[in-house]
Structure 1
Amino acid sequence: MEFGLWGEKALNFIFNPLEDDAFINILEGSVRSGKTVAMIPKWLNYIMTGPCGMLLMTGVSKDTIYDNVLNDLFDTIGESNYSYNRQSGDLLVFWFDNGIKKQRRIKVLGAKDEGSEKYLRGKTLAGAYCDELSLMPEKFFKQLLNRLSVQGAKLYGTTNPDSPYHYLYAEYITNEAKLKKGMVRDYHFELDDNPNLPEEYKENIRNAYKGMWFKRMILGLWVLAEGVIYDMFSDDLLFDDSDKVFTKNKKSACRRYIGIDYGTTNPMVFLDIYDDGDTIFILNEYYYDSKKHQRQKTDEEYAKDFDTFIGEEFPDFVLIDPSAASFKIVLRGKGYRVKDADNNVNDGIRKVAMLISQKKLRVHKQCQNLIREFHSYVWDEKAAKRGEEKPVKENDHGCDALRYMVNTILQKWRFQH
């Protein structure tokens, strides 16, 4: 990894002596503002000179930690200076001190839900690096603090903003008592704190977000998620057969995916989605509401409807909620390539919102149910005030089917601008 120019905030953080750092050190703010890049040399210094004992690196999953942090860390130190078992998460980092070879044991651990807390029990830690800290379950985070029991142990974390009711913001970042005592130190980063970003790039990334996402990801503000989730959706994203945005030639150059939100008492939804590598086009929808029709269909009946919906051209993949076990079996029995969807709700919503903001998502006018949901899919304000961020479970079936495809299929670079 080649480091570029360093901003003043990054340098202040990197060169602050370890003994002067707080117990909890948080780098938070806008995307691409240099938080992770500033953390790498700091963490390497901690590995080599921090208190003796095992360290922990954690995030949503071991894969996200690898993509977000370890890949650059390994590139920085060189392949001869570490040993990593990606499956177990066991990492050893080597270095020489006055000609003597030393090493540090580090455990890499995912923290996808509250249940991950059990993997911390019994551990005695000398330090921790937390990637995407705001996505860490509260129970896990507080158990992690309990495990940092070695004298002088410290926690370092990076995060983008979340809700102002989030436990991290309410109990740590803005807690005056903890800040004054030196238990917590917060470093707020904005786009202009990264001197390596060209003005054209910054303009592009600013245009990638709208509404609440702009306030969080660009301005770095901890603001409440409220109102319509996809408030940036507008009629200029719609097309019909008279438009020339999706011709036969365009269709033939695309990969085809079907997103499914499985329902029995709730609506069953199929979305016919085409991807040309730049923009996704939602060409058609199947929407069956058993409550409205006063009749539930069996999996076999839905499978027949699916065959009709698909036509003669098989899709590249069918993306479906992993919990829809019985219907997956039926579809696989018919020869379809069925893939369990990534069901990370908020991450999927953010990605769909980015596509809409950049006009990289187009919807055929015949998809009336999906269009209706775009205008009526809302955040749960009561949950937000409890520190939880989630949508109201209404008007979400087509939105879920779309999110499954976007969050599972589209590669990370499609959302890095």
Structure 2
Amino acid sequence: MTVNLDAIYTKKQQTIYRRCVNDDWFMLINHGAKRSGKTVLNNDLFLQELIRVKEMATKQGIEKPMYIVSGATLGTIQNNILTELTNKYGIQFSFDKHNNFTLFGVYCVQAGHSTIAHLDKIRGMTAFGAYVNEGTLANEEVFDEIKSRCSGEGARILVDTNPDHPEHWLLKDYIESDAEGIISYSFQLDDNTFLSERYRKNMIETTPSGMFTDRNIYGRWVSGDGVVYADFNKDKHTVTKDDLTEIKMVRYFCGVDWGYEHFGAIVVVGVDADGNYYVVEEHAHQHYDVEHDWVPIAKEIISRYGNIPFYCDSARPEYVKKFKDKKIHAKFASKKVMLGIETVATLIKSDQFYINYDECPRFKDEIYKYVWHKTKDEPVEEFDDVLDAIRYALLSDKLVNSKKPKTEELNALKSLLR
């Protein structure tokens, strides 16, 4: 049966697919921009690898070959691989008591890779291959162990990842390696020709400048350089107290960053009906005590805005407990640094972030001094107190109020797997 690959794959994906099915290799690394087609292709190659593994193992007299399926966490495996395959091909995964599954006669061991604690799941096993999703998030020692476990005859490793900083071990030791068995391909957003021009244009226009554009649009391995929120424009992203009286908010919430020697901060954020975010108040102080100072401030905020949520830094759980003991609606904030920064930066780039600038003096001190670390993929931990409170608030609110849309995928590849 002849299959029209143009209906299934982009030109970049077809090139890689043909090489993978016609040549031998040990490790394939697809890396680059988001939504460029890396994981879609690797998910399909994963299914083909399982079929190949079963055939090889049968010839070797092995009844139940093992295969490693790895992601930052088991949740990311579910979201990025298994759910996508269920939506696309109707595959139903049945998990045993170890949270593993059998597909096409191959026993697939699910393992996280983000911390050294994940080593125990795969130590000692003999695998006929591995699929490593989000490779840059892997602990290097765990990644090396996954590679070492793939000692079954003919074993191969699939890797997909977004780019990271230019000194990352995955880039230096594998992608840029001269090893004969490693093949790698870099993806840009424009490589995904199935994306509509409208979506592509919106992605480019709303992706924050600098590092995020380089990585998420062009797939480059670059470090951050300069100010973190480079798109913040005082002339565009500020409002006055009088402006705020004319804006109808649909909800309010707070972000809290604890401090003592450095500034502690509570920010109040409002959201209008169009999804624009407004930092309407800032409370930033040094040497404030939680019970005698921050609790009264929180109570005063509640007296004006109601029993709104306070998304708090989890570094001081005893402080969060004191808030809760005083009937303050305190919750642990999501503290994923890069995701939080990207969330705030995207809102700024999209002109959906505004701040009551003249009445937020600590924000004024921080916004132009909050910079990327020169050698690490993170900001310098200075001038970040109010900005951390804003990050906690906006990311947590986004996660609480987001609804994941139902995924619809092409089913044409089914015939290739028969």
1:98 corresponding residue in structure 2: none
- Give the corresponding residue for 1:293: none
CA offset at residue 298 of structure 1? 4.3
Contact in 2 for aligned 1:300/1:330 (Cα 8 Å): no
TM-score by length of 2: 0.85
Q: Does residue 41 in structure 1 map to residue 53 in structure 2?
A: no
Change (3 A) 1:212 1:108: same
Whole-angstrom CA distance in 1 between matches of 2:120 and 2:381: 29
Identify which range, 12-21 or 333-342, moves more after superposition.
12-21
Report if the CA contact (8 A) 2:257-2:312 is conserved.
yes
Give the match for residue 399 of structure 1: 387
Amino acid of the residue matched to residue 239 of structure 2?
F
Q: Given the superposition, is the C-alpha separation of residues 219 and 104 from structure 1 closer, same or farther in structure 2, using an over 3 Å criterion?
A: same
Q: What SS does the corresponding residue of 2:354 show, helix, strand or coil?
A: strand
Superposition map of 1:321-336 within 5 A: 321-336=313-328
Are positions 1:287 and 2:287 aligned together? no
Tell me which residue corresponds to 1:83.
94
Task: Give the distance between the partners of 1:83 and 1:249, measured in 2 at CA.
Answer: 51
Partner Cα separation in structure 2 for residue 370 and residue 115 of structure 1: 39
Q: Distance in 2 between matches of 1:111 and 1:83?
A: 22
- Aligned mate of 1:57, from 64, 69, 77: 69
1:220 paired with 2:212, answer no
Give the TM-score normalised by the residue count of structure 1. 0.85
Instruction: Give the conservation status (yes or no) of the 8 Å contact 1:348–1:404.
Output: yes
Change (3 A) 1:169 1:401: same
Once the 2 structures are TM-superposed, how far is the Cα of residue 27 of structure 1 from its aligned partner?
Answer: 0.8
The amino acid of 2:206's aligned partner reads A
> Retained in 1: the 8 A contact 2:187–2:218?
no
| Equivalent residue number for residue 11 of structure 1 | 14
Q: Deviations over 1:190-211 (max 9, x none)?
A: 2222121121211110012211
**Distance in 2 of aligned mates of 1:337 and 1:395:** 27
3-state DSSP of counterpart to 1:330: helix
Q: Matches of 2:396 and 2:23 in 1, distance apart?
A: 42
Alignment partners' CA distance in 2, 1:89 and 1:174: 35
Gaps of 5+ in 2: 1-5, 58-64, 406-418
Name the structure 2 match of 1:340. 332
Matching residue of 1:307: 299
Change (3 A) 1:160 1:303: same
Question: 3-state DSSP class of the match of 1:271?
Answer: strand
- Secondary structure of 1:83 counterpart: coil
* Residue 107 of structure 1, aligned match among 101, 106, 109: 109
Q: Structure 2: how far apart are the matches of 1:333 and 1:157?
A: 47
1:189 corresponds to 2:200: no
Q: 1:374 to 1:242 in 2, by over 3 A?
A: same
The aligned residue for residue 371 of structure 2 is 378
Q: Distance in 2 between matches of 1:361 and 1:84?
A: 43
Q: Please state how far the C-alpha of 1:105 moved relative to its aligned partner.
A: 2.1
Residue 132 in structure 1 maps to residue 144 in structure 2: no
Distance (Å, rounded) in 2 between the aligned partners of 1:240 and 1:232:
20
- Give the 3-state SS of the residue equivalent to 1:157 in structure 2: strand
Deviation at 1:300, TM superposition (A): 4.2
Aligned equivalents of 1:256, 1:114: Cα separation in 2:
39
Query: Does the CA contact (< 8 Å) of 2:237 and 2:351 recur in 1?
Result: yes
Judge which range, 316-325 or 105-114, deviates more: 105-114
Tell me if the contact between 2:210 and 2:230 (Cα under 8 Å) persists in the aligned partners: yes
Aligned-residue Cα RMSD (Å) equals 2.5
**Partner AA of 1:20 in structure 2:** D
Q: Which residue of 2 aligns with 1:166?
A: 168
Are positions 1:367 and 2:360 aligned together? Answer: yes
Shift of 1:271: 1.1
Instruction: Please tell me whether residue 237 in structure 1 is matched to residue 237 in structure 2.
Output: yes
Kept in 2: contact 1:227–1:379 (CA 8 A): yes
Q: Provide the C-alpha distance between the structure 2 equivalents of 1:275 and 1:222, rounded to a whole number of angstroms.
A: 35
Structure 1 unaligned segments of length 5 or more: list them: 96-102, 291-295
How many Å separate the matches in 2 of 1:165 and 1:4? 38
> Would the aligned equivalents of 1:257 and 1:318 in 2 still touch at CA under 8 Å?
yes
Identity of aligned residues (%): 26
Matched residue of 2:248: which SS?
helix
